[in-house]
Structure 1
């Protein structure tokens, strides 16, 4: 009588670093698409958010261009201001993204996401880059308005692509910063208060409205550690051709985003408790 041989135990093949990276990228993309589906259902949100940057360009930009109160060399002040307003609009979109995370926790969605095989870093990165895509859609409206007002924007497709990367990186960083704050305070009301408290200092403590040379020494120090300053510097260099430190700007934004994703991922579990 022949005894059937036992089947050898299944050995799971290790996909290797490249395979794991591919899986991670696919899951980040899937989370990003889920986030963008929400935008398609409420398209008026972007229109209402575009009002504030439009007012900055139309009122503040036009007025200070006539006054010539802020020295910007041979660059018209409106041209100088436009990249700063682009960065501001991306900041305002991303900095309150943590409220959505708290809402998902209260609705039980976050707990369900955390028990899936998707890594926490992929969940956070998906939301972060979704914030970046939202910022790109709004940036398109700001750029159209800037062009109508006569801002001398570049038409180089490579520079416009690099501009999109800068906006996405900056938005991703501030989105993750918001998630970090949410993981610490655990409350929508506290997050709203802290978000409102840090938004204006981030904006006015950068080079978005005026050159760094005009700042007092203590504000210069804050500007050098403010990621928004590097984002504005890169946008200005790419869009209107002013001197910029593009290598440093991209490096700081990429490093800050990577660190922010790591910290936000570590705090995500605290939100679900």
Structure 2
């Protein structure tokens, strides 16, 4: 596990020293929560009996996790294109630790951005339910979702041949996962064909669980099912990253 920690620590130190990346994450949080959230709250005062800022914030948290995972995948792609990954492979460390170090650092960055957005959202009027246990479970679910999408980002980074190609491929998973979910609107108002698509999206289950646990809304989907789907997504994302990483090594 120590090699995994060393790689995680290397990525996090680089992240914390990169003022441009930190500023970009902060500005993204402010833009989404303040401009979009506050603007839409002026149009829609309440939805499902909740202030719209409180309703939309779990979806914005999911988006922040996606954005953080995309940035983490970029780090691995940059290291692969510059030959740093070959130096890792030449080192006397388990090869799996290379992937785990990248995956955990990517998930950590994603959680950092999610917490930042949550704080901005609370300052803008979002109201959390007083449920410390629910807050903890919500944080765990965000971590699992971050790990799952980090796996997808790392898998794409493992096979991409350029930064432009990486962004082109990852876009297929980024915003569509947000808008084809219950992040911005209730599941009940969607047409049947779109509900079928939304229910195939793991983001839907994450958002519904966070709304229930952290914001005190009535669950639209069974909470146990939501937790199971998010956990399965984390496992599948990790498996996908491992499969693509092993293929890269053989190549």
Q: Same fold (TM over 0.5)?
A: yes
Structure-2 change in CA distance of 1:181 and 1:212 (3 Å): same
| Correspondences of 1:1-273 after superposition (within 5 Å) | 25-68=1-44, 72-116=47-91, 118-244=93-219, 245-272=222-249, 273=251
- Residue deviations 1:146-176 (CA, integer Å, cap 9, x gap): 2222211135433322222122111111111
TM-score by length of 2: 0.87
Distance in 2 (CA, whole Å) between partners of 1:60 and 1:97 is 25
Structure-2 change in CA distance of 1:119 and 1:214 (3 Å): farther
Distance in 2 (CA, whole Å) between partners of 1:29 and 1:157 is 29
- Residue deviations 1:37-90 (CA, integer Å, cap 9, x gap): 222221441331232332232233223323228x72211111101111111111
- What is the SS of the residue equivalent to 2:171? helix
CA shift for structure 1 position 241: 1.1
Q: Gapped runs of 5+ residues in structure 1?
A: 1-24
CA shift for structure 1 position 258: 1.6
State the Cα RMSD in Å: 2.3
Structure-2 change in CA distance of 1:174 and 1:113 (3 Å): same
Structure-2 change in CA distance of 1:233 and 1:261 (3 Å): same
- Residue deviations 1:122-156 (CA, integer Å, cap 9, x gap): 33232222222212222232222222222111354
CA shift for structure 1 position 92: 1.0
CA shift for structure 1 position 119: 4.0
Query: Number of residue pairs matched?
Result: 248
- What is the SS of the residue equivalent to 2:218? coil
Distance in 1 (CA, whole Å) between partners of 2:94 and 2:218 is 40
Does the CA-based 8 Å contact 2:29-2:120 persist in structure 1? no
Q: Gapped runs of 5+ residues in structure 2?
A: none
Structure-2 change in CA distance of 1:82 and 1:30 (3 Å): same
CA shift for structure 1 position 27: 4.4
